[in-house]
Amino acid sequence: MSFFRLIEKGDEPRRLFVGGLHGREGLTTIKALRLLSFEDVKDGKLIIYNCDPTFYLSTLERSYYNTRQGREIISLIEYYRPSIYVEAHCYKDYRGLIDPDRKRKMGVPPLIELENGVLIGSVSPHIRTSFFKRADVCITLEMPCIHDKIDTEALETYTNILKVIASIKDRPELEEKLAKRYPEQVETARRYAIEFFGDYPPF
């Protein structure tokens, strides 16, 4: 379900939200991305793109970025040069994403639950360290896949987090806003970032 929207209130900061990066995720992520409005952006740009359904290949695989979908996403990043980048995903394997042993198994830290099954973490290191600066915001946001039914609490939380990110100017402002509601999760995200990226933290 391809969907594109540009909300423009100036040139900076530039925010790019991409949903449905693989498989049929876009059938879920479109439900939240469509709810973002002109009023959610204080200044700068918000570019919203939801991908068409495609075959599933993890963004943790370097080969993902050689697929049509992967190249399309890289093209958006290179064209808009966002300092705030969000990948909107949905999941079926909750336990796998929050597994404390995920770094050993998958090469990346576990995602962190905010509430109502909504998870947050960094985007794939394949693009985090190649296309973004150290201070940029690069977030993966996950919720349960709801292609045929609506988990209203998860969708509301997911949409609210997207709205928070749509309103911020930089990483310190995002940390400040999220820490008011999710202090433990933000501190865990900082720790994971230092452990995984060292001097190149994504959060």
Range of the domain at 41: 3-197
In a domain, 202, yes or no: no
pLDDT at 2: 79
In a domain, 125, yes or no: yes
Calculate the alpha carbon distances from 51 to 21, 88, 95, 178, 194 in Å: 6, 10, 25, 27, 31
Where the chain has pLDDT below 50, the residues are 203
Distance CA 142, CA 113 (A): 9
pLDDT at 199: 59
pLDDT at 195: 80
pLDDT at 197: 75
- The answer to whether residues 95 and 88 touch, using CB atoms and an 8 Å cutoff, is no
In a domain, 203, yes or no: no
Global pTM value: 0.94
- The answer to whether residues 88 and 55 touch, using CB atoms and an 8 Å cutoff, is no
pLDDT at 147: 66
pLDDT at 193: 83
How many domains are contained in the chain? 1
The helix, strand and coil proportions of the chain, stated in percent and rounded to the nearest 5, come to 45, 20, 35
How many other CB atoms are there within 10 angstroms of residue 112's CB atom? 20
Residue with token string 């190249």: 71
